[in-house]
């Protein structure tokens, strides 16, 4: 079965990226690689293992997992029908549901709990603005199979330690507990009574949510509702003994680790699946998109996705927002430069020159090769100019006559040291070693 894809386009229109989806170009991409390496290193120290799930999942996973009356499911999902078999599919708007699906599908909790992390793109059809994109990236950490507040604390300390490793400051932690479903039901009834007394200040969206998901009204960004939200009954005062004990134990661990936090009784988080602990890391430096990382417990999600009931907790962190903060607060990244630039005056030298360059690369030297324009290699002057702007410390000149003698000229491009002839090309490893120890 095949069907022609119809695209209204003329050959002369320039093709550009989808709105709200960004290219990450060099040199900025170096900051991403630096960040990703820090994350991998830290996750290994906490013994979290990497999980990679597909970017496309069945739409039902998110509808069931996140809840029907959530911003994401109501209006932000990129959903489509597979043209070949009619399946309802969605580009993942977040990764927790996919991780849980994979854990259940592969029975990963069979031999005990799991600590997992992921990094990758997520998709939400939102209004693009600073810190809010349609394709954005998250790092997430998920701990499945453990119910105690100790892992909640571990996850929070892990995030905080990541911020420290990156050299970031002024990120505060807000905490709350959403209790258990029965406690929320009592709170929900009280909330409805409260908001019904203030119907005149509720916006359209809030009115609609009053009987479907009144707790989400607490998450409103509507400034006119500030005082009504502030005077609303607080979920914390509906918590029973067990929920309170869980919350207190988490706080005691954070206190013992000297990690400051504030309790925000109105912190509810956007998704339905949370219970007990919820938290956010927030900065004031990024304007209104200040939430860097958010997470909490989701003890009922695994069951909802068809697995054996099992507790779980995790967080998701927005990489774009975090790197914006890195840009603002940290030293600029040093530009990536090769160690050496290979200058090749004659096309005839290419085979032998490339053989030597490959040997240098195997020995750990970063070599940028002058690439031909198709006909000829270009003048020495233009090759030296390129060598200079590459930032390389050394120029390697593969002259025809020298190559025939098994030699190459090494010229320092930075400190005025004259050319030096390197003989015996079979000793590149040795030379590589010397070069490395000189800078």
Cβ-based nearer residue to ligand ATP, 152 or 339: 152
Q: Which stretch binds ligand ATP (CB under 6 A): 2-10, 62-70, 149-157, 284-292?
A: 284-292
Under the criterion CB under 6 A, does residue 292 sit at the interface with ligand ATP? Answer: yes
Cβ-based nearer residue to ligand ATP, 139 or 393: 139
The contact mask relative to ligand ATP for 257-276 (x = CB under 6 A, - = no) is: -------------x------
The pairing of strands 135-144 and 312-318 is antiparallel
Smallest distance, ligand ATP to C-beta of residue 12, A: 33
Residues 301-320 that bind ligand ATP (CB under 6 A): 316, 318, 320
Candidate list 90, 176, 291, 310; residue touching ligand ATP; CB under 6 A = 291
3-state SS string for the chain: CCCCCCCCCCCCCCCCCCCCECCCCCCHHHHHHHHHHHHHHHHHHCCCEECCCCCEEEHHHHHHHHCCCCHHHHHHCCEEECCCCCCEEEECCCCHHHHHHHHHHCCCCCCCCEEEEEEEEEECCCCCECCECCEEEEEEEEEECCCCHHHHHHHHHHHHHHHHHHCCCCEEEEEEECCCHHHHHHHHHHHHHHHHCCHHHCCHHHHHHCCCCHHHHHHCCCHHHHHHHHCCCCHHHHCCHHHHHHHHHHHHHHHHCCCCCEECCCCCCCCCCCEEEEEEEEECCCCCCCEEEEEEECCCHHHHCCCCCCCEEEEEEEHHHHHHHHHHHCCCCCCCCCCEEEECCCHHHHHHHHHHHHHHHHCCCCEEECCCCCCCCCCHHHHHHHHHHCCCCEEEECCHHHHHCCEEEEEECCCCCCCEEEECHHHHHHHHHHHHHCC
Cβ-based nearer residue to ligand ATP, 294 or 345: 294
Cβ-based nearer residue to ligand ATP, 276 or 359: 276
- Closest residue to ligand ATP in the complex (CB): 318
Cβ-based nearer residue to ligand ATP, 291 or 349: 291
Cβ-based nearer residue to ligand ATP, 270 or 378: 270
Smallest distance, ligand ATP to C-beta of residue 401, A: 57
Question: Residue written as tokens 């997520």?
Answer: 122
Cβ-based nearer residue to ligand ATP, 106 or 221: 221
Candidate list 48, 62, 118, 136; residue touching ligand ATP; CB under 6 A = 136
Cβ-based nearer residue to ligand ATP, 119 or 396: 119
Q: Which stretch binds ligand ATP (CB under 6 A): 55-63, 133-141, 330-338, 385-393?
A: 133-141
Under the criterion CB under 6 A, does residue 70 sit at the interface with ligand ATP? Answer: no
Candidate list 92, 297, 321, 370; residue touching ligand ATP; CB under 6 A = 321
Under the criterion CB under 6 A, does residue 339 sit at the interface with ligand ATP? Answer: no
Cβ-based nearer residue to ligand ATP, 94 or 183: 94
Smallest distance, ligand ATP to C-beta of residue 129, A: 9
Residues within the interface to ligand ATP (CB under 6 A): 94, 124, 126, 131-133, 136, 138, 270, 289, 291-294, 316, 318, 320-321
């Amino acid at each position: 079965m095949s069907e022609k894809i119809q695209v209204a386009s003329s050959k002369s229109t320039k093709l550009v990226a989808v709105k709200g989806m960004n290219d990450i170009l060099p040199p900025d991409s170096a900051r991403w690689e630096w960040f990703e390496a820090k994350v991998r290193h830290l996750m290994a120290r906490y013994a979290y293992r990497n999980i990679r799930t597909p970017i496309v999942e069945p739409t039902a996973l998110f509808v069931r997992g996140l809840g029907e009356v959530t911003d994401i499911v109501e209006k932000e999902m990129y959903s489509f029908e597979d043209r070949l078999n009619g399946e309802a599919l969605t580009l993942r708007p977040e990764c927790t549901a996919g991780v849980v699906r994979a854990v259940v599908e592969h029975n990963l909790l069979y031999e005990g709990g799991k600590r997992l992390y992921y990094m990758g793109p997520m998709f939400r059809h939102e209004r693009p603005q600073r810190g809010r994109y349609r394709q954005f990236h998250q790092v997430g950490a998920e701990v499945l199979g453990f119910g105690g507040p100790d892992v909640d604390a571990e996850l929070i300390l892990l995030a905080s330690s990541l911020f420290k490793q990156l050299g970031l400051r002024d990120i505060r932690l807000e905490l709350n507990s959403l209790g258990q479903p029965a406690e929320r039901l009592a709170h929900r009834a009280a909330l409805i009574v409260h908001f019904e007394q203030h119907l005149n200040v509720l916006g359209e969206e809030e009115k609609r949510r009053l009987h479907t998901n009144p707790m989400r009204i607490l998450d409103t960004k509507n400034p006119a509702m500030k005082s009504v939200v502030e005077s609303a009954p607080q979920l914390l005062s509906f918590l029973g003994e067990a929920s309170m004990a869980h919350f207190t134990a988490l706080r005691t661990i954070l206190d013992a680790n000297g990690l400051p936090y504030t309790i925000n009784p109105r912190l509810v988080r956007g998704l339905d699946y949370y219970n007990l602990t919820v938290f956010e890391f927030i900065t004031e430096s990024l304007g209104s998109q200040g939430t860097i990382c958010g997470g909490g417990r989701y003890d009922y999600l695994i069951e909802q996705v068809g697995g054996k009931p099992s507790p779980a907790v995790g967080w998701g962190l927005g990489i774009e927002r975090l790197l914006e903060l890195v840009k603002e607060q940290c030293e600029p990244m040093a530009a990536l430069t090769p160690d050496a630039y290979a200058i090749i005056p004659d096309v005839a030298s290419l085979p032998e020159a490339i053989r030597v360059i490959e040997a240098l690369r195997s020995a750990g030297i970063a070599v940028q090769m002058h690439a031909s324009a198709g006909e000829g290699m270009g003048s020495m002057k233009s090759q030296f100019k390129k060598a200079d702007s590459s930032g390389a410390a050394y120029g390697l000149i593969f002259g025809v006559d020298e190559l025939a003698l098994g030699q190459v000229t090494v010229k320092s491009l930075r400190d005025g040291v004259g050319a030096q002839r390197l003989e015996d090309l079979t000793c590149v490893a040795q030379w590589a070693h010397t070069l490395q120890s000189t800078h």
